[in-house]
Amino acid sequence: MEICGLVTEKNKPVPLKSISVELLVQDHVATVSSTLQYVNEEERPLEALFVFPLPADAAVCHFSAKIGEQEIVAEVQDRETARDRYDDAVSSGQQAFLLEESAESPDVFRLSVGCLSAGQNAAVTIIYVTELAVQDNHSLRFCLPAVLNPRYTPAGSAAGIVSEISSGAVPYTLTLSVHVSSPKPISKLESNCTLNPLVFLHSDHTQATVNLSPGHMFDKDVELFVYYQDTHQPSAVVEAGVTTAPPGSLMRDTVVMISLYPEFPEEVMSSLASRGEFVFVIDRSGSMGSMMHRGKEAQMRIESAKDTLLLLLKSLPIGCYFNIYGFGSDFESFFPQSVEYNQDTMDQALKRVKEMKADMGGTEILQPLKHIYSQPCYPDHPRQLFIFTDGEVFNTKEVLDLVKSQAHSHRCFSFGIGEGASAALITGMAREGSGHAQFITDTDRMQPKVMQSLRFALQPAVLNISVDWTLPDDVTVDTLSPPINVLFQGQRTLIYAQLKGESSGGSEGTVTVKYSLEDQPVTNQLHFCLKPTEETQLSIHRLAARTLIRSLEQEERSGAADVEGIRSRMVELSVQAGVSCVHTAFIAVNKDSRQTVKGPLLQRRVPTYDALMQADCDLLLKCSLAAYVSAPKKKFGFMTKIQNLFRRGSKKPVLCSMSAATENQTRLHLKQAEAAPELQKDLLLQLVSLQKASGCWDLDSTLADVFGKTEDELTNQKPAQVDGSVWATLLALIWLYGCKIEQQVEWQFVAMKAASWIGSQKVGDLSQCVCEGNVLLGCQVTKETLGI
């Protein structure tokens, strides 16, 4: 049996029994310590393989194993050396542990636990540090991934990222304890999972603890949201180096992490851009036919994406350009090239959107991106790319390199849909494309998050960004982060820098960020103390090392001349900082465990829970049957693509088939779904769907239905001398502000267009019209609120 194969013996207990996680949050940085408890319950020696996800920007900095009372701590070595040591140890009967990053995606790790004797226990501890992402409500988000979806692997590829398919919940438990510490008072903690009550450790609320409630099944990502007072204030963390590290090295010198929050002038933010080319790229692979979540009234992912496209198309400014792409194993676009946004092109696009299905096979995003980038840009219309996917691709780094190579010509806004979307892909595309990333998980609604990103896309591009440092004469600075090429209003920007030289404890430094915004110069400045912050446990150094390693990886992949020199520098930095990279691995060998191995090692795959495909081959194919049934001429090719999900580096697909019972059940299910009456449409989306591209509404019965009125009631209450479309548009605005104010983030641009259109019309006594509209709809909205 190949090491990379699936479990072949069913109903055998897997060796992973429990995961215990300790989370230390210090301001904007999290240190995560995970302990995995293994036990070999079989009668022969065992090798366990565990493929699992980590946050995309995590820096793994510790790996150790405890067998009985003996603990062995792993060291970082060159990857090939570490693999050789592991193979040698296992073949000679020694216990060995190998932790390595996937070559295809930096958010996937593989842990090999070698030669566990029958009945033996082993506790493996992995520690990593990561930055916490700032949300639009100014909370900080931590995610403990539970789900690693199988990456779609096209035929002929030798890619090797595949997670395991588990029938039901994973057979191990999770405990999670959280300690939060910050200079700013902690307001609250929230989670998508049940937490015990928050306990404050100090009266000033700067430290607190909380635990995950017992019984959590770890069947979805654990999300934690930390709220501080004044989260969005600029800050600096200064961390002292290690005196035993080589002089001049990153680990020896002081490192600073700067968090900046640019604030744009109000006059710039009040007039969002009306130009641009908006390209929407929608995943239409089979997995998009899955539900958004497991709760009641859950939508299919593709249906939620279609509703979101409706909102986006209605929110676009007149005079911009747009196009829509759907992709799977292949791709297609609504128009040969982006077209000007008007009533006719909007209607054409909306008709196509209604017909979209999750029927395009696998997930291959590289080719549609290449096609989009090959299209010429429109002068004075900056390109804005919106990408929606559940993030299951095998060639993440190749995609990111492509986006980065085109960063000069566009901004990329990415959306990860559902549990298990690749954080490396989603955050990476936004980072390399100077955009913004969003994750839609659990019961999140897609529309508000997408409209928040549209607001970013409509902000003017920041140009000529420069960062200047003012430091004492005996201190110099090396900036470790890549140059800043994007700034958004209220969004955090991180800068890591290495400070060389000695300074007195009370010295102060200043970092100044200058840029141009709408041809106006803007300056943001932060003063910070050079005295190191205590008890940071080298987390800032390790995040800085990870940032530098990622830049070197990008340089290596871009075809730099001195590839060997770059690789050597990466390995040296990885080993010194104790942070893994694609060319290194953590290796631990228990040399005292040598014993005679009787019989061959059994290999066991340890499953990670998969929220999309929870059973064996039958259920995986069942989930994908919609495309199989709707495209009979392509059945064989499509089935081959599904089978390829099971390949792990082998040239030959694993043969699997659908049982007759499953196929019959699934066909029946699909017929019932097609025959089922359409769910009652959301009233807000009904209203939005009726708006014209110019921003107005027609006075007709369909609009009256949204308000729960008849067309006659609307017409009879219309003030004299007021045009029907003006009256209809005014009523729509009143209804939005009076009945749907809690969803304002979703319809804000629809309302802006409507208010602008009314402002361009000749209206008599507008205040009286608003009063009449309030009476008709039972609202209390002022003219000033409507923005007219």
Asked whether the whole model's pTM tops 0.85, one would answer no
Residue 236 has pLDDT above 60, yes or no: yes
Written as six digits, the tokens of 194 are: 């049940």
* 3-class SS letters over 323-335: EEEEECCCEEECC
Q: Which residues fall within 8 angstroms of residue 426, CB to CB, at 6 or more apart?
A: 56, 389, 391, 414, 415, 416, 437, 438, 439
Mean pLDDT along residues 491-511:
83
Q: Would you state the structure tokens that stand for residue 210, as one six-digit string?
A: 């909380």
Per-residue pLDDT tens for 154-202? 444 444 433 433 334 556 678 899 999 988 899 999 988 888 989 999 8
**Structure token digits, residue 273:** 């851009």
pLDDT score for 274: 62
What is the rounded average pLDDT of the residues 354-378? 91
Kindly report, residue by residue over 27-83, the tens digit of the pLDDT.
889 999 989 888 877 777 777 777 777 777 788 999 888 887 788 899 999 999 999
Task: Provide DSSP, 217-248.
Answer: ---S-EEEEEEETTTTS-EEEEE---TTSPTT
pLDDT, position 654: 31
The mean pLDDT value for 124-138 works out to: 85
Residues whose CB falls within 8 Å of the CB of residue 423, separated by 6 or more in sequence, listed in order: 53, 55, 56, 107, 143, 145, 391, 416, 439
Q: How confident is residue 353, by pLDDT bands cut at 50, 70 and 90?
A: very high
Task: Please count the other Cβ atoms lying within 10 Å of the Cβ belonging to residue 591.
Answer: 11
Q: What per-residue string of b and e applies to 182-195 under the rule 16 or more CB within 10 Å gives b?
A: bebbbeebebbbeb
What percentage of the chain has pLDDT greater than the value 90? 34
d(CA 646, CA 198) in angstroms, rounded, equals 43
Rounded to 10°, the helix 539-557/396-405 angle is 80
Residue 661 scores a pLDDT above 50: no
Tokens (6 digits) for 417: 């849909």
Note the residue count of the chain: 788
Model pLDDT, residue 602: 54
pLDDT at 763: 80
Q: Nearest to residue 346, comparing CAs of 681, 750, 787, 758?
A: 750
Most confident region among 56-60, 273-277, 455-459, 465-469 by mean pLDDT: 465-469
A 10 A CB-CB count for 484 gives 19
For residues 661-694, b (16+ Cβ closer than 10 Å) or e, as one string?
ebbeebeeeeeeeeeeeeeeeeebbebbbbbbbb
- One-letter amino acid at 275 equals R
Contact 490, 232 (CB under 8 A): yes
Q: Given pLDDT bands bounded at 50, 70 and 90, which one contains residue 474? A: confident
Rg of the chain over all Cα atoms, to the nearest angstrom: 28
Q: What is the DSSP string of 423-461?
A: HHHHHHHHHHTTS-EEEE-TT--HHHHHHHHHHHHHSPP
Measuring CA to CA, which residue among 442, 373, 382, 386 is closest to residue 413?
Answer: 386
Report the chain's terminal Cα–Cα distance, integer Å: 71
Q: Which domains does the chain have, with CATH numbers?
A: 16-151+163-230+584-604 (2.60.40), 241-268+463-531 (2.60.40.1230), 273-458 (3.40.50.410), 615-675 (no CATH), 683-777 (no CATH)
* pLDDT surpassing 70 at residue 615: no
Cα–Cα dist 620/614, whole Å: 8
pLDDT score of 153: 43
In angstroms, the CA 452 to CA 749 distance is: 10
d(CA 486, CA 384): 13
pLDDT in tens, 391-416: 667 788 889 989 988 888 888 999 98
The SS3 of residue 47 is: strand
238 in Cβ contact with 533 (< 8 Å):
yes
According to the model, what pLDDT value does residue 161 have?
39
The first and second tokens of residue 620, run together, are 């995986």
- Whether the CB-CB separation of 506 and 529 falls below 8 Å is answered with yes
CA distance 284 to 261: 36
Residue 373, pLDDT score: 94
Q: Whole-number mean pLDDT of the chain?
A: 79
Cβ–Cβ < 8 Å for 46, 602: yes
Q: How many percent of the chain have pLDDT more than 70?
A: 80
